[in-house]
Amino acid sequence: MAPVGRRSPRPFALLLPALVLAPVLSAQAPAPVETIPDPARVPPAVVPFVNPLWQDLESPAALKGPPPRLVDLDASATLIVGVRIDEAGKVSEGVAPDPPLRALGAAAQAQAPRWTFKPAKKDGQPVRCWGTYGVDVEVDLEDGVWSAFSLVPVGREDPLPALGNEAAGEKWLSRFPSAVTPPEPGVLSVEEVDYLPMPDKVALKVDSTPLRSRVLALVEVSGLGAVKRVVPVGAFEPLLLRWVRENARTWQLAPARKRGAPVSAWLALDATIEYALDSVKERGKRSIKKNVRGVPVP
């Protein structure tokens, strides 16, 4: 008789607990680790540029007809000239850092070497210095015509322009350093002297001459079709900007429309004016205790 012993467990019986527990263990198993990309290697999202002055309009603002004729301008202005003056009062160089009209600055720079001043003094002695001379003038601009004129809506992707720096009156002088820049050995700043150099023979002569100037600006048109603002772009000539602003008051425009209603909107002006500088009359002159020989801060 064969010995009676325990039967070995069948393979199926051994696998049964594992089959029963598999769903539970699977539910309790940790989720696979998600790989997080390196932030330094993730390219930034590209956001398309939109000019903040652009609008999605049904119709843009536009001139009614051709650009109006330019009315003559009679205006007063101040021309500031930096002059290098020696101990005898002789001028060797002149610079006009921000002239009201480029032609006036060019005339002053060309004629400055013929000017004379009573020299500046330091500790009772005449000294060389860079002085600052201001001359008040009256200017007539005549026979102006638009040789080129473009007044178009600001585009969605138009880059932001650098606006012109408009400082009222002579406040723009404060942007210049007090010291002569670059330094010149033996030449003082007008801000260092005890007695200012005073103009002696400083006649400014400007003959009638034909000129051409370009004007770049942003123009805001109201919902009534009137020009609200003319903002210069980049470098500009203050007298030309004044001329355009005074004439823009008379422009007749159709206002922009959005959702059926008139709205304010911006236009970009790119124009060239041909005109005559008819006369320049001096009304006053003075020496100013503010250095303009250098690079102004923005």
| Cβ neighbours around 172 below 10 Å, total | 17
Over residues 81-114, the pLDDT tens digits come to: 999 999 999 999 999 999 999 999 999 999 999 9
Using a pLDDT cut of 70, give the percent of the chain over it.
84
Per-residue confidence (pLDDT) for residue 17, from 0 to 100: 42
Reported as a pLDDT band with limits 50, 70 and 90, residue 166 is: confident
Look at residue 288 and tell me whether its pLDDT is greater than 90: yes
Reference 88, options 123, 117, 114; nearest CA is 117
Look at residue 279 and tell me whether its pLDDT is greater than 90: no
Over residues 37-71, the pLDDT tens digits come to: 566 666 666 778 888 999 999 999 999 988 888 99
Print the SS3 string covering 2-40.
CCCCCCCCCHHHHHHHHHHHHHHHHHHCCCCCCCCCCHH
Over residues 285-297, mean pLDDT:
93
Per-residue confidence (pLDDT) for residue 28, from 0 to 100: 53
Over residues 128-154, mean pLDDT:
95
Reported as a pLDDT band with limits 50, 70 and 90, residue 35 is: low
Cα distance between residue 294 and residue 16, in whole Å: 94
CA distances from 68 to 64, 104, 220 (A): 10, 27, 17
Is pTM, for the whole model, over 0.85? no
Look at residue 25 and tell me whether its pLDDT is greater than 90: no
State which H helix or E strand residue 234 sits in. Answer: none
Reported as a pLDDT band with limits 50, 70 and 90, residue 163 is: confident
Per-residue confidence (pLDDT) for residue 19, from 0 to 100: 40
The residue count for the chain: 298
Per-residue confidence (pLDDT) for residue 37, from 0 to 100: 59
* Cβ-based neighbours of 96, under 8 Å, separated by 6 or more: 79, 80, 81, 82, 104, 105, 106, 108, 109
Question: CA-CA-CA-CA torsion for 174, 111, 138, 281, nearest 10 degrees?
Answer: 140
**If you average pLDDT over every residue of the chain, what do you get?**
87
Reported as a pLDDT band with limits 50, 70 and 90, residue 6 is: very low
Over residues 175-225, the pLDDT tens digits come to: 999 999 999 999 999 999 999 999 999 999 888 889 999 999 999 999 999
Q: Which two tokens stand for residue 44?
A: 């930034």
